[in-house]
Structure 1
Amino acid sequence: MQIVLFGPPGAGKGTQAKFLSEEFNIPHISTGDILRENVKKGTALGMKAKSYMDKGELVPDQLLNDLVRSRLEEPDTRKGFLLDGYPRTIPQAKALDEIMDDLNRKLDAVVNIDVGTSALVRRLSGRRICKGCGAPYHVELNPPAVPDVCNACGGERYQ
Structure 2
Amino acid sequence: MYIVLLGPPGSGKGTQGQILAKRFGLNHLSTGDLFRAILGDEDHPLYPKVQVVKEGKLVSDDVVNLVVEDALNKEEYESGVIFDGYPRTVAQAEALDDMLSSRDRKVDMVIDFDVTEEVLLDRLLGRRVCSSCKGVFHKKQGYDKCPKCGGKLITRDDDNEETIKERFEEYKNKTAPLQQYYKSGDSKYICIMVDDVDKTPDDIQKQIIDKI
TM-score under structure 2 length normalisation: 0.65
Q: Which letter maps to 2:115?
A: V
Shift of 1:56: 1.0
CA RMSD in angstroms comes to: 2.2
Provide the secondary structure at the position in 2 that maps to 1:113: strand
Larger radius of gyration: 2
Shift of 1:134: 4.1
CA distance in 2, matches of 1:132, 1:34: 20
Contact 1:2–1:106 at 8 Å: present in 2 too?
yes
Contact 1:131–1:158 at 8 Å: present in 2 too?
no
User: Percent of aligned positions with the same letter in both sequences?
Assistant: 37
| Structure 1 unaligned blocks of 5 or more | none
Which residues of 2 match residues 21-60 of structure 1 at below 5 A? 21-42=21-42, 43-49=44-50, 51-60=51-60
Query: In the TM superposition, what whole-angstrom CA distance separates every residue of 1:11-64 from its partner, at most 9, and x where no partner exists?
Result: 111111111011112111111011111111222313421x21222111111111
Q: 1:116–1:33: structure 2 CA closer, same or farther, 3 Å change rule? A: same
100-109 vs 61-70, greater mean Cα deviation: 100-109
Partner of 1:115: 115
Partner of 1:101: 101
| Structure 2 unaligned blocks of 5 or more | 157-212
Q: 1:158–1:108: structure 2 CA closer, same or farther, 3 Å change rule? A: same
CA distance in 2, matches of 1:152, 1:94: 42
Provide the secondary structure at the position in 2 that maps to 1:11: coil
Q: Which runs of 4+ in 1 moved over 3 A?
A: 128-135, 152-158
Q: 1:137–1:78: structure 2 CA closer, same or farther, 3 Å change rule? A: same
TM-score under structure 1 length normalisation: 0.85
CA distance in 1, matches of 2:126, 2:63: 31
Which residues of 2 match residues 55-66 of structure 1 at below 5 A? 55-66=55-66
Contact 1:26–1:82 at 8 Å: present in 2 too?
yes
